[in-house]
Amino acid sequence: MTSLLITLLYIVFVLAALVLVVVILLQEGKGGGFGDSLGMAGQQTFGVKAAGIQKFTAIVAVVFLGSALLIHVLNRQQSSATLIDDPFGDSAPTVPAEQPR
């Protein structure tokens, strides 16, 4: 069940990342940007006031960060052993005993 949830979170994470890249590149900055290369289409899409697109960007950013944190927490809970607990795993190297001469 947990692995299915982690898989779904990875899908949400990647989709949110792609949407963030596109939306951020389309926003008009102080010096222009990719939105200016679209010409009037960028202004028609976002209108004079860009409050809606900024709110959408913030929501997608929260989804992106939230899914990243949930993926981390679920992966941490799923793995029971850490390197600190057992640094060599099950196959710990053996040191040969010194033989008297």
Q: Is residue 98 part of a domain?
A: no
Is residue 41 in some structural domain?
Answer: yes
Nearest to 21 by CA among 64, 68, 50: 64
Residue 53 lies inside a defined structural domain of this protein:
yes
At 26, the pLDDT band (50, 70, 90 cuts) reads confident
pLDDT value of position 2: 82
Q: Between 51-78 and 2-26, two packed helices, what is the crossing angle to 10 degrees?
A: 150
74 in a domain, yes or no?
yes
- pLDDT tens-digit readout, 30-82: 655 565 566 555 555 555 566 788 899 999 999 999 999 999 999 888 776 55
Query: Does residue 12 sit within a domain?
Result: yes
Q: What pLDDT is stored for residue 46 in this prediction?
A: 57
- Look at residues 94, 64, 89 and name the one whose alpha carbon lies nearest to residue 79: 89
Half-sphere exposure at residue 66, Cβ-oriented, CA atoms within 13 angstroms: 8
Q: Please tell me the total count of domains within the chain.
A: 1
Query: Residue 70's domain spans which residues?
Result: 2-78
Predicted TM-score (pTM) of the model is 0.60
